[in-house]
Amino acid sequence: MILLARQQSQMHRILEALIQRLPNTHIDYMNYFERLMRIQAGFAGEKRVDAEWLEINLPTPHYFLHDLQILNHFGKTHQIDTILICPHFILILEIKNITGFLEYDESFTQFTRTTAQGDVEGMIDPFHQVRRHAEWIKKISQQYKVEIPIHYAVVLATKNAILSESLKGHPIFHVSGLRYHLRKWLKQHKEVILDVDKLFLFATKLMSNHMPIKREIAIPVQDIIKGVLCVRCSNGQRMSYHSKKWTCQRCGLVDQEAIFRTLEDYKLLMGDSLTNKSFCEFFAIDSPDLAYRLLKKLPLKAEGIKKHRKYWIYDG
């Protein structure tokens, strides 16, 4: 059972909205674009591993926590890709969607990859990452007086990662090896440590620590393309509002959902509160009266009267 489902991070959604609204000639466009590509690749790799679980026979009951985000007692963050909690043990996975020839120098805790072009790149040591998560989970389990084996591994989501001999004996394998290693751990730990009730209680207590981490990003608000944008056209084509319909003058698309997508863009890029003035500016509407009529139709909570009126965007 999935207690905490995997979702796009807030940063993922912010960058998608920003790239859609930032001219590709902008000085920082490629920086944001490359950052988005890395996040999308990582998310795709995580979903690839999630799909592998569907074909694996798992102990019953069991619980998954995907992308568990924690702020520990020292003010440091833990972002754990996957936690499997079953009656026999806990498994923590660090998922990597990377390609190239991978090498590891344990004495220097140095993890490198050689690309297809022959470039050697240093990378964050994934073993340090996943061990750190495992140590924190162990502290939490001890706090709740739960004595259960904890395993961890780095899982490669793409076949285009080649493991060198230097990684032999380390907890790293391709996603196709997940079922093999799971069988090995189940054979090693046959005893039921947590019964049905204790398992659920521990899983929910662990999930109660989840607190989505907010990442800061500088939004070039003055440079982004304003307006309700057409999803069919590129280059930030604005739609116009006539006869209670949003229509693209270029391709003729009528899209009544466009304004709700624009409201989501506003929330991601500008914040969750707006006024008639900020609505006009971001949605590229010239008439305050039209803006007022549109604001009344949107999922907003209004506070104040006349020029002091402020609107709050509902969550969800």
pLDDT at 43: 96
Residue-wise pLDDT tens digits, 282-301: 999 999 999 999 999 899 99
The CA-CA-CA angle for residues 207, 211, 216, to 5°, reads 155
- Confidence at residue 194, expressed as pLDDT on a 0 to 100 scale: 92
pLDDT at 316 over 70: no
- How many Cβ atoms sit within 10 Å of the Cβ of residue 126? 22
How far apart, in whole angstroms, are the C-alpha atoms of residue 59 and residue 223? 53
Q: What is the pLDDT of residues 207-258, one digit of tens each?
A: 998 988 877 888 899 999 999 999 998 778 999 998 889 999 899 999 999 9
For the chain, the residue count is 316
Percent of the chain with pLDDT over 70: 100
Determine the pLDDT at residue 306.
75
Domain coordinates in residue numbering, the chain: 2-207, 225-313
124-145 pLDDT tens trace: 999 999 999 999 999 999 998 9
* CA proximity to 245, closest of 253, 237, 256: 256
- Mean of the per-residue pLDDT values of the chain: 93
Q: pLDDT grade, residue 171 (50/70/90)?
A: very high
SS3 19: helix
User: Model's pTM, two decimal places?
Assistant: 0.88
Predicted confidence at residue 72, as pLDDT, reads 80
Report which DSSP code applies to 125: -
The CATH architecture assigned to 225-313 reads Orthogonal Bundle (1.10)
The answer to whether 154 and 134 have CB atoms below 8 angstroms apart is: no
Structure confidence at residue 93 (pLDDT): 98
- Kindly report, residue by residue over 39-89, the tens digit of the pLDDT: 999 999 999 999 999 999 998 899 999 999 988 878 888 999 999 999 999
